[in-house]
Chain A
Amino acid sequence: MSEVIVITSGKGGVGKTTTTANVGTGLAKLEKKVVLIDTDIGLRNLDVVMGLENRIVYNLVDVVEGNCRYKQALIKDKRYPNLFLLPSAQTRDKTSVSPEQMKKLVDELREEFDYILLDCPAGIEQGFKNAIAAADRALVVTTPEVSAIRDADRIIGLLEANEIKHINLIVNRIRMDMVKRGDMMSIDDVVEILAIDLIGAVPDDENIVVSTNQGEPLVGDGTLPGKAYLNICNRILGENVPYLDLSNDGFFKKLSKIFKKSNN
């Protein structure tokens, strides 16, 4: 049985595309057959984060308009045999696709894939409506900032109004050093405010920038965000995975090691 997941946030720049790339790649690593759809028409980005920008021939609008079959537009990721990307169109706008067309396309893809991930554009207009139209569940990405959380709350309301009941929260770009000194809301604070179930938290980490530079999602590598993303993937599959200690990095890691040594 296939599942269609929309990754959304309301506010731009909180990490929807990075999350889509990593969760999609992670699910493929866990041997699921996955297709990622970039629904941000006019501002295509998932292709570059995935490192597949040079292989685009057809795009989402071509498929919807019947210029090609969806199989012709799908880009196969050479690193993972069961991972595919359906890129967005760069020279069109959000009105090029309707929610009904998205539903029809996704229903076709359900026949072939275990997971269909929809990377939603920022905002709550047409692009958002297209992206959520076919979704069974949603991952709401936010950062521990007032503006991002406010927008996430609005998005959760809209998802519920559209009968998407399975909604999970990803708290992105958390900085435990700031949380510890009280200058950033904690993961618990964000969960309490938004009142939806947490599925993972990802630390603010330089490795994310490096991985985006290289066009290679870091899910499942040894880094802390890589582990955090893989845990999210396992939780999507229904596994009960304990949460990482995100403070376990850099300065604090060294400091705690020193303390542990002196205590032992």
Chain B
Amino acid sequence: MGLKELFFGRKKTSGDYAKDRLKLLLVSDRANCSPDVMEQIKNEIIEVISKYVEIDASGLDIQITQTESEGGHGTVPAIYANIPIKELKSNNAKK
């Protein structure tokens, strides 16, 4: 662990975990977005993307989170999706 800390910087403290968990939790609380709805969004995204590329559905991660707004007006909610691609089906579709 010591070596890892040396190379990758400070180890995440329990306070950092608390803050990260809360940020995600509050965005979904505020959006009033239930786990069912999230699951539905996730399934439909898989369906659409699968038409074009082969994706690793088990590795798909989708969250409602916050991001800096482009206009610089603080943070705005955003849907963040990390979709691992297994193979591109056509040459037109680029990552």
Interface residues of A (CB under 8 A from B): 144-146, 149-150, 153-154, 157, 178-179, 181-186, 189, 193
The chain B residue with its CB closest to the CB of A193 is B22
In-complex Cβ contact of A183 among B13, B21, B22, B30 (8 A): B13
Please state if B21 and A146 are interface contacts (CB–CB under 8 Å).
yes
Number of A-B contacts (CB under 8 A): 39
B30 proximity list for chain A (CB < 8 A): 153, 157
The residues in B between 23 and 47 inclusive whose CB is less than 8 angstroms from any CB of A are: 23, 25-26, 29-30
Q: Is B16 an interface residue (CB 8 A)?
A: yes
Interface of A is mostly: helix
Please state if B15 and A186 are interface contacts (CB–CB under 8 Å).
yes
Q: How far is the CA of A184 from the CA of B13 in the complex (A)?
A: 9
B21 proximity list for chain A (CB < 8 A): 146
Q: Is B82 an interface residue (CB 8 A)?
A: no
A-B contact pairs, 23 of them (CB 8 A): A144-B18, A145-B18, A146-B18, A146-B22, A146-B25, A149-B22, A150-B22, A150-B25, A150-B29, A153-B29, A157-B30, A178-B15, A179-B15, A183-B15, A185-B15, A185-B19, A185-B22, A186-B15, A189-B15, A193-B19, A193-B22, A193-B23, A193-B26
Q: How far is the CA of A19 from the CA of B29 in the complex (A)?
A: 27
B18 proximity list for chain A (CB < 8 A): 144-146, 185
CB distance from A173 to the nearest CB of B (A): 14
Q: How far is the CA of A182 from the CA of B17 in the complex (A)?
A: 10
